[in-house]
Chains A and B, each alone.
Chain A
């Protein structure tokens, strides 16, 4: 199908250009915006693979939540890009090692894919046939049966992280006026108002 491959190349080219721009842009806010574009196009690629649930979750979680926070932080902090670029040579050796490792991994995968060896046995046949079971259902079936303990413990880890973040950053500031809604609703005119009959010509002392 020509149409699908045109769309595939469209998504992947935009994703790659976006990813390049994330690291090439001088302005960090522009970088984040390019990152969002990259996320979007990856979601598009997932849809082409037939993994619509993962595509939507990618948009909801990464674009809708994570990138918003990213954008917040980047906008609030006045990041000076020249200072950030100073350590470039210092980090170059370790970065090139990581780069090399990723490159070798990619090359092995591609060689495996084109030499006809069966390293894609697992990916070739998605176990519940996507035509019978929607992929939301099949992910749910696996996640809540075979991987329930791992799934739950991931949840617990996230909860602990959240509580930790709140404990570390939350502090009661003295002298801050806070509205106590229930107290305010409970007030009646009796408690706060006093009606005084003022005699004419005398006033109140």
Chain B
């Protein structure tokens, strides 16, 4: 009995506990990211944003969640019900599943696998299914067109994301995310932080823009361009399935910010390993960097107008793809001949 407990039950329970410890703050962060977005955009547009429910409107996300929970789930006639309900679940769970390999601090990771970066790439390339399934299962023209657009968009930008990930992993010489972060700990020229942000700065910009497109955020939110497609692939969704899509989008933003942080901003590492900086524990640094990336997401949303579809495709295929390919070859050259 004791053997069973120590051999199987306890390790299993321990994994479940770790998952909860990661997911609970994450879900809370997702809920409050929606609040933060509304407040920040409000401030940028000289409005107040939600400020009525609770202190400073802090209970707004909870009120929204309760409102959505109590509404009716409408399944359109002619829809394929199973696929229709599966789509939001896929979107949401993919954003959660990716966190399995993300190291929050030195050693603080659920599964420290050797192919972490490939796993992240694989998971992010699956995001398109939630959208396509939703668009097809809704049996609606708007939803279908939105899904087609978004699928093409996500597939296009994934290519340059892949190339940039290869560039970074070549520089670090490892596919393991913890080792990737540690590879950034060596200061550059002795005084700059060793983050890949500095040597790969153009790629950081390209990666961030590609991430905006990959998560269907502004200014690339064509799948849900209100003026053309009502709400794109989400048109037919109501109540909890809609909430899952909505939360999935925000969870994806946080996940992609974490990826940006690990690849370019040195993960949990402080900028300098000296006294005022290393008082803060690693996961605090990690959260600060993620918060910074999320702020960029929101800032971009408040600043830029939406791209037209052909411009979006041109940017992805004709500018980002050749540029990231060039940078990849350049990096390879420098690594081999330095």
List residues of A whose CB falls within 8 A of some B CB. Answer: 2-3, 27, 29-30, 33, 36, 52-53, 56-57, 59-60, 63-65, 68, 71-72, 75, 134-136, 178-179, 181
- List chain B residues, Cβ under 8 A from A53: 115, 118
Q: Do A136 and B175 form a contact, CB below 8 Å, given A71-B132, A75-B136, A179-B311?
A: yes
Residues in B whose Cβ lies below 8 Å from that of A68: 128-129, 132, 151, 155
Residue B114 CB within 8 A of the other chain: yes
| Residues from chain B with Cβ under 8 Å of A56 in the complex | 115, 118-119, 121-122
- Point out the residue from A30, A59, A65 that lies within 8 Å of B155, measured CB to CB: A65
Looking at chain A's contact residues, the main secondary structure is helix
Query: What's the A-B contact tally at a CB cutoff of 8 Å?
Result: 65
Question: Which residues does chain B contribute within 8 Å of A59, judged by CB atoms?
Answer: 122, 125-126
Determine if A60 and B113 form an interchain contact, defined as CB atoms under 8 angstroms apart.
no
Per-residue CB contact flags for chain B residues 95-124 toward chain A (1 = under 8 Å, else 0) read 000000000000000000111001101100
A72 to B144, CA, bound (A): 11
Residues of B within 8 A of A65 (CB): 125, 155
Contact B126 A64 (CB under 8 A): yes
Interchain CB contact (< 8 A) of B83 among A30, A57, A178: A30
Residues of A within 8 A of B122 (CB): 56, 59-60, 63-64
Tally of B interface residues using CB under 8 Å: 27
Asked if B221 is at the interface (CB within 8 A of a chain A CB), the reply is no
| Residues in chain B near residue A178, CB distance under 8 A | 310
A136, closest chain B residue (CB):
B175
User: Is residue B133 contacting chain A, with contact meaning CB distance below 8 A?
Assistant: yes
Q: Please, which residues of chain A bring their CB within 8 A of the CB of B314?
A: 181
Shortest CB-to-CB span from A129 to chain B, Å, is 14
Listed in ascending order, the chain B residues whose CB lies under 8 Å from chain A are 8, 12, 80, 83, 113-115, 118-119, 121-122, 125-126, 128-129, 132-133, 136, 144, 148, 151, 155, 158, 175, 310-311, 314
Chain A residue with minimal CB distance to B121? A60
B175 touches A33 (CB 8 A): no
In whole angstroms, how far apart are the Cα atoms of A75 and B83 in the complex? Answer: 14
Give chain A residues whose Cβ lies under 8 Å from the Cβ of B121: 56, 60
Q: Which 8 A-B pairs have the closest CB atoms?
A: A64-B125, A56-B118, A59-B122, A134-B114, A60-B122, A52-B115, A56-B115, A56-B122
Q: Which residue of A lies closest to B83 (CB)?
A: A33
Provide 22 A-B residue pairs closer than 8 Å at the C-beta atoms, listed in order of the A residue: A27-B80, A29-B80, A29-B83, A29-B136, A30-B80, A33-B133, A52-B114, A56-B115, A57-B118, A59-B125, A60-B118, A60-B122, A60-B125, A63-B126, A64-B122, A64-B158, A65-B155, A68-B129, A68-B151, A72-B132, A134-B114, A136-B118
CB-CB under 8 A from B119, the residues of chain A are: 56
| A2 CA to B9 CA, complexed, in Å | 12
* Complex: A169 Cα to B136 Cα, angstroms: 26
Given the complex of chains A and B, what is the CA–CA distance between A63 and B132 in angstroms? Answer: 13
Which residues of the partner chain A approach B136 to less than 8 Å between Cβ atoms?
A: 29, 75
Name the CB-closest residue of A to B176. A134
Additional 4 contacts, C-beta under 8 A, given A2-B8, A57-B118, A75-B132? A52-B115, A56-B119, A59-B122, A71-B132
Q: In the complex, which of the residues A27, A57, A136 contacts B114, with contact meaning CB atoms closer than 8 Å?
A: A136
Contact (Cβ within 8 A) A63 B125: yes
A63 proximity list for chain B (CB < 8 A): 122, 125-126
| A78 CB, nearest partner CB in chain B, Å | 13
Nearest CB in chain A to that of B122: its residue = A59
In the complex, chain A residues whose CB is within 8 Å of the CB of B133: 33
The residues of B that contact A136 with a CB separation of less than 8 Å are: 114-115, 118, 175
A contact residues around B151 at 8 Å (CB): 68, 72
Note all chain A residues with C-beta closer than 8 A to B113. 52
Q: Cβ of A60: which chain B residues have Cβ within 8 Å of it?
A: 118, 121-122, 125
